[in-house]
Structure 1
Amino acid sequence: MSDATETKVTATDATATDATGATRTRTRWLRYAAAAPGLCLAVLALVVMTTSRADDPVPGADSADAGFARGMAVHHQQAVQLSFIVRDSTDDEEVRCLAYDVINTQANQRGMLLARLDDWGLPKSSQKQPMAWMDHDMDYKPHDGSLMPGMATNTEMDELRKAEGKDAEVLYLRLLTAHHGGGIDMAQGAADLAEDPMIVRLAEGMVSGQQSEITLMADMLKARGVSTQQ
């Protein structure tokens, strides 16, 4: 092999190596980017749960703090269920992305609330009405699986399970909008009444986050030619 040929082959090999390296770097970056949201949530959860824990007084079993932790854990669980259902009922990336975000965010927050109850040595359930801890009269009567304001009924959950495509998207967005509305009312109550710093911060974050998602969902419904109303 001549020097010129050898040089050409070496250059070609180097180019191939560079291309392979660039591909590996790009793939590695995409993997890190995909993992970043989950990592951020985990870090945030750790920071929130460990801040001001040592000197915080333990709330009573009937306190706003405990009542909110129990009630919102149940409320969040249904939002996660709704999101899992629609994720498998549509190929629309916008709706699936929202569902993915709700699943991760609310499952993470639910875990934080239940962990806080464990920290306090308090039961995760109560015989009292879920929102009895709030400072205003609650005349909401649980029915058909809807335990608190905003929660979907069992009938509505079944309708979502049967729906597909645009019908599933619209029903999900409407149900989740109502669900967030009830969640915001409860979270604002905790932000006003709770004493545990972690619970107050978490509740305030829920209010702002879910209000933003309600605005987003209104736009998503409008883009599909429908309103938030049934």
Structure 2
Amino acid sequence: MTRTHWAAITAVVLALLFAGAATVASAGGNDAAAPRTPSTASADAGFARDMSVHHQQAVEMSFIVRDRTQDEEVRRLAYDIANTQANQRGMMLGWLDLWGLPKLAADATPMDWMNEDGGHASHGGGHEVQDGSLMPGMATKTQLEKLRKASGKEAEILYLQLMIVHHNGGVAMAEGCVRLCTVGVERDLAQGMVDAQRSEVELMVDLLHKRGAEVMA
């Protein structure tokens, strides 16, 4: 099998394992390390809300490129990313429902929850919205429009470049949850995101090089 295929299998298996663990933990309520209900200002809730938005854009970009190229390797990768991140997004939104917390907090700034470790800007807190980019790694409206208009090899390269940046931003967010979240199953999911997305970044860099392109500066 290709490295892309193995990474896809790993990502899907991780999503299924964490989904099962989340169901058991939610039904039993036996996570001794977790508070009874995270507050809306907690890292647990902030990560669930922000990563849901972050994942949604990855799903959107993946569906765009699927329709803009006939390359089976890129289409398969895009499908796997969309499927995995849509499943994870559903889990995180489900947790917010379980906790009785809003999926959107009008008084919360994206990434503020990451400042709970001391307010280090390098961890992503205080990200400034630019051209629709709400969080680190997210593509801008201009970049998304360019992807929609591209086709063939051009679309493949732009998708890979944008998704590498997107994954790197997601990894930083997930690492923040591993440090700060108190719900064990959510920390486990976040660590799974770190591992899977780092692996996918390596694969996407290889795919870029095969197309004579480099990672976006």
Answer whether TM exceeds 0.5 for this pair. yes
Q: 2:5: which partner in 1?
A: none
Q: 1:191: which partner in 2?
A: 178
Matched, 1:204 2:191: yes
Q: Name the SS of the counterpart of 1:151 in structure 2.
A: coil
Matched, 1:93 2:72: yes
Partners of 1:79 and 1:103 within 8 A in 2: yes
- Indicate which of 68, 89, 97 corresponds to 2:47: 68
Please identify, of 153-162 and 51-60, the stretch whose mean Cα deviation from structure 2 is larger.
51-60
The whole-number CA distance in structure 1 between the counterparts of 2:18 and 2:187 is 14
* Superposition CA RMSD, Å: 2.0
The 3 A distance-change label for structure 1 pair 163 and 66 is same
- Equivalent residues in 2 for 1:144-163, closer than 5 Å: 144-163=131-150
The whole-number CA distance in structure 2 between the counterparts of 1:72 and 1:42 is 15
Q: 2:151: which partner in 1?
A: 164
Q: Name the SS of the counterpart of 1:133 in structure 2.
A: helix
Partners of 2:15 and 2:84 within 8 A in 1: no
Deviation at 1:40, TM superposition (A): 5.7
The whole-number CA distance in structure 1 between the counterparts of 2:160 and 2:203 is 10
Partners of 1:41 and 1:108 within 8 A in 2: no
The 3 A distance-change label for structure 1 pair 210 and 43 is closer
- Indicate which of 92, 107, 125 corresponds to 1:113: 92
Partners of 1:62 and 1:133 within 8 A in 2: yes
Larger radius of gyration: 1
TM-score (norm 2): 0.85
| Corresponding residue pairs, total | 195
TM-score (norm 1): 0.80
The unaligned stretches of length 5 or more in structure 2 are: 1-8
**Deviant stretches of 4+, over 6 Å:** none
The whole-number CA distance in structure 2 between the counterparts of 1:148 and 1:43 is 26
The whole-number CA distance in structure 1 between the counterparts of 2:172 and 2:16 is 27
Taking CA–CA contacts closer than 8 Å with sequence separation of 6 or more, which of the two structures ends up with the larger relative contact order?
2
**One-letter code aligned to 2:113:** W
**One-letter code aligned to 2:52:** A
Q: 2:30: which partner in 1?
A: 55
- Identity between Structure 1 and Structure 2 (%): 55
The whole-number CA distance in structure 2 between the counterparts of 1:48 and 1:129 is 30
